[in-house]
Amino acid sequence: GAGVSQSPSNKVTEKGKDVELRCDPISGHTALYWYRQSLGQGLEFLIYFQGNSAPDKSGLPSDRFSAERTGGSVSTLTIQRTQQEDSAVYLCASSLVGHEAYEQYFGPGTRLTVT
């Protein structure tokens, strides 16, 4: 596909369970970002991957959150022992790095509901 895709589009899970959210960036984009969008809040930066560099994890809210990016393409965000406050829309974005790095292309998001 031409755009950023995310799966699943919706996820309902019970408190205490682990979840995995997937992001497929645009082919050739070396930068990948994860954000969290809570109701009535702006986008909260979570983690940033750029090529083979160590990821910038400065936005992860707790050690229950982790992410990996395999082969410089697909990324998975994992939330362990989910809590109700983790309920939000998780957005992934990708971009080229360099002069055009500011143009981030967003996926449709995964809506996570923790019951």
Partner 1 sequence: GEDVEQSLFLSVREGDSSVINCTYTDSSSTYLYWYKQEPGAGLQLLTYIFSNMDMKQDQRLTVLLNKKDKHLSLRIADTQTGDSAIYFCAESISETGGSYIPTFGRGTSLIVHP
Scanning the structure block, which residue is given the tokens 């992934």? 92
CA pair distance 80, 93, nearest whole angstrom:
22
CA distances (Å), origin 102, targets 7, 18, 31, 82: 24, 33, 11, 32
Residue 71 makes contact with partner 1 by CB under 8 A: no
Structure tokens at 49: 């991957």
Residue 98 makes contact with partner 1 by CB under 8 A: yes
Binding partner 1 by CB under 8 A: which of 65, 95, 112, 114?
A: 95
CB of 81 to partner 1, least distance (A): 27
Interface residues toward partner 1, by CB under 8 A: 4, 31, 33, 35, 40-43, 45, 48, 50, 53, 56, 91, 93, 95, 97-98, 101-109
